[in-house]
Structure 1
C-alpha cells in the first residue's frame, strides 16, 4: 500500500489551498481543505491541531447546510476526538459525534457513509473494551455494504460494417464502437 509520508509538505500545500479558498469565499473548498488538513495532522499525531481543523471544516459544511458533508466531518471529528486520548469526557464526546454522524447517514439513506462510520465507531468501541457493542456495529456496517451494488458499465453498443475497397474490390472489416 502506497502512503505519502511528507506530511509537512501536505500541510503547507493544504494551508495554501485554504488561503485561496478563503479569498474566493468558497465554503466547500474551505471545508474540504480544513478536513484534509485535519486528517493529515491526525496522521502526524497532532490531534489538537487536527481537531481544530475538523471543527473548522464542520463549521463550513454547516454554513452550507450540506448534511452529507456534515456527516463526514462529524465522523472524522469523532475519530480524532477519540484518538486524542483526552479522557473519558472526550470519549463520550466522540461517541456522541459518531451517533450524530450515524443518524445523518441513516436519514439520508447513505449506506456507504453509514458503513464507514459504523466501522470506525466499532474500532473505537473495541479499543474501549466494549466488544459486544463493537461486534454489533461491525455487523450493521457489513449489512449496509451488502445492500450496495458495484456500479456496472452500461453495455457497449457495437455495429459491424463491411466496406469494400473499390480499387481492389477487397472487403475491409470495420467495427464501430459507440461509447
Structure 2
C-alpha cells in the first residue's frame, strides 16, 4: 500500500501501490562485497502536473499533503515503470540537475508509438539514522522529457555517487604537498686586497 490516496478519474480507479517506499541493496563493487542500503520514496509529481484552472477540470484535482496538483494519466502510465527503472539506474549514469540529480531512460508506452525519453529527478542524501553506510532517495518528479544536460554537466556512475554520499568508501589519504626548497642567495665574491 502506498501513501497516496487512490484517484477516480473518468470512470477508472487509479491506485499507487507501485509507488510505495522501497528498500534496495546497492552493490558498490563488481564482486558485490561492498553493499549499502537505499531507501526510496516517491513524490506525487511522478503522476501529477501543476493545476491550471484554464486547462484542468475539477475532476483532475489531486491534493496530497496540502498541495493541489492535477492528475495526469500519461505521467501515471509512465510511473508504472519506476520500480524497474530504479533497478536500471544502479547501472546507469546520472547528471547534476540544479541542486538534485537526473537520470534519463528510454521507455515504451501502450498509448504512444515508439520509445520515449523519460527523465527522473531525485535527491540523494546520507541516511544519518542508519548504523551502517546508507542513502535515502526521494524521487521528486518524473515525466517524458529528453535529457537536457549542460555540455559540462557533472555526471557520475550512480553507484559511485551513492557510495560517496553514504561515506562507504574509506577517505582518501591526502598526500602532503612537496615543500619547495628555498633558493639560497648567491654568495658575494670576496675580493683580495
Q: Which has the higher helix share?
A: 1
TM-score normalised over the length of structure 1: 0.23
Q: Which has the higher strand share?
A: 2
Task: Select the structure with the greater relative contact order (CA < 8 A; seq sep ≥ 6).
Answer: 2
TM-score normalised over the length of structure 2: 0.22
